[in-house]
Amino acid sequence: MVKRISLAVLLAAIAIPFASAETLVKVGSVSVPAGTMLHCRTNQTVTTMLNKQWDAFSISVTEPVTLNGQVAIPVGALLTGRISLIERPGRIKGVGQMRLNVERITLPDGRGFPLAATLITAYGPENVKVVGSEGLVKGPNSHRPDFEEIGAGTVGGTLLGLMFAHPIVGATIGLTATTVDRMRRRGKELTIPIGTQLNYQLTRELAISRDVPRTTASNEVQIAGE
């Protein structure tokens, strides 16, 4: 008799945690359609001088996305991804460029979902633009400063040559010196500072499930709609 009572007490003690266990009950999902814009800001500085291909980056949503009067993507949601392409500017010609691919969105409550989106516009950095259908970011062109610097060197050499009655020789020396000096240096690096506004457009529908915690017995868990 005592053994039966002890066994019953033990089983009851084991059953209590399971009876009050917290489970996730699926109550439906929200589908954010392709073409929806996500307005975000960068959480760190990204630059062709320091970053490498496949470096991770993150941006935060700054404007909520609403559907039928309900917030589907709130402010503060985090988009994470990697730099799939990065190139430093060349010497004399070429500009810095990079491609920032986002791969996942994490909502403030911790739920995360894969997503596909393309960078459409970037606001903030001077002379930085987004080109093409794959969201390629290009930095400032250094052609004009190159020519101005080389031109100034040529003029300076000419004036120096006039002092010695050899303006052509002076111009040639000035042109050669500034050209060689400029060729050994790269153009302006592409830098996207922290806080830069980046606008991404969804290329595929984003399904956000609405799982909610519910305290229920383990043998009573039901899926909405079943």
Q: Answer whether residue 37 shows pLDDT above 60.
A: yes
Q: Answer whether residue 63 shows pLDDT above 50.
A: yes
- 117 in Cβ contact with 201 (< 8 Å): yes
The residue among 62, 74, 75 whose CA lies nearest residue 124 is 62
Residues 12-31 as b/e (b if ≥16 CB within 10 A, e otherwise) read eeeeeeeeeeeeeeeeeebe
The residue among 116, 114, 115, 82 whose CA lies nearest residue 99 is 82
Residue type, 55: D
Token reading at 16: 């209590």
The pLDDT, as a whole number, for residue 20 is: 42
Torsion of CA 131, 137, 143, 145, to 10 degrees: 130
pLDDT in tens, 104-160: 999 999 999 999 999 999 998 888 999 998 999 999 885 444 445 545 545 554 555
* Residue 29 pLDDT class (50, 70, 90 cuts): confident
Query: Taking all residues of the chain, what is their mean pLDDT, rounded to a whole number?
Result: 77
The residue among 168, 149, 150, 148 whose CA lies nearest residue 158 is 168
- Identify the residue with better confidence: 153 or 36: 36
Q: What is the mean pLDDT of residues 77-86?
A: 98
* Residue 71 pLDDT class (50, 70, 90 cuts): very high
Report helix, strand or coil for 133: coil
